[in-house]
Amino acid sequence: MSVTRTVRVVLVLLLTVFVLPPAVNMGAQDASPTADAFEVWVIDQSDTTPEGGGTLYIYPEPALTEGVGTPEVIDLGDAVADRCFEQTASYPSRPHMILFNESHSHAILSFVASGHVAFFDAATREPVACIDVGEQAHAAFPAPDETYVVVANQNGKLLQRISTEYRANTFVLDDAATVDLASCTTPSGVACEGPELRPDNAPICPIVDTARASTHSSPSVVAGFLCSIPPQHLWRSSPNMMRQRSTQTGVAD
């Protein structure tokens, strides 16, 4: 029994921890943080409701460095589930990866079993929007310029884009920007997915290239490849333009 508990905790920490830097540590427990303060946001994927749910733990800096205080606990089966059902007519299930936008004003949580992406006001902890991208949302990575989020729809083998306006709390799924990694072609005209070189293009983590001013996303895929896709400029006009490099063989096509 104790072995099972230990393994579970390790998995949760590896997959879903995010450290919130000092400038935005303005949660309910500490509205006036010191310059050195920080928070750690941790997701427990365990169901809290019949529909799914999950738990968000927010640890203030003293709880980790001094053993003082307790984490803020948020049941994702409450307000978040209500927001998702209100906006998508379905409930989120299995919270998986959580990230923050560049200014750390909002948290972005993907639900791997249901396809939902929820946006939180980082200071108030309130869910401000929820979008259902379809089959599965394994991870949602925000662009540094804060204009969009790239979602890895793993089982759907899709890269999807959500346009973001954080100040207005406006988030819109841009269907015209979707890249189908199972049916697209590379710049040389070769199929993106095929039995020999790239047998499984299910995207895992759609990392946005900060060195290119938010103009490229480099998602890793199940078969061990790394794609390079220009999400802002080419998705609308030419979704077939994709360059993909194998991390196993070094082959580019």
For residues 184 and 250, membership in a common domain is answered with yes
Residue 139, in any domain of the structure: no
Residue 14, in any domain of the structure: yes
Q: Which residues of the chain have pLDDT under 50?
A: 1-15, 22-35, 213-214, 220-224, 232-253
Domain boundary among 107, 132, 157: 132
Residue 138, in any domain of the structure: no
pLDDT digits (tens, 9 = 90+) for 58-109: 999 888 888 888 899 999 999 999 999 999 999 999 999 999 999 999 999 9
Which domain, by its residues, includes 194? 144-253
pLDDT for residue 235: 43
pLDDT for residue 227: 61
Which long-range contacts does 189-195 make (Cβ < 8 Å, 24+ apart)?
A: 190/253, 192/242, 192/244, 193/157
Residue 91, in any domain of the structure: yes
For residues 96 and 7, membership in a common domain is answered with yes
pLDDT for residue 165: 97
pLDDT for residue 131: 98
Residue 137, in any domain of the structure: no
Domain boundary among 132, 160, 184: 132
For residues 149 and 203, membership in a common domain is answered with yes
For residues 4 and 125, membership in a common domain is answered with yes
For residues 97 and 218, membership in a common domain is answered with no
pTM listed for this prediction:
0.76
For residues 187 and 251, membership in a common domain is answered with yes
For residues 87 and 175, membership in a common domain is answered with no
Residue 50, in any domain of the structure: yes
Residue 114, in any domain of the structure: yes
For residues 1 and 114, membership in a common domain is answered with yes
Total domains in the chain come to 2
Q: Which residues contact 17 (CB under 8 A, 6 or more apart)?
A: 40, 41, 42
For residues 123 and 175, membership in a common domain is answered with no
For residues 13 and 127, membership in a common domain is answered with yes
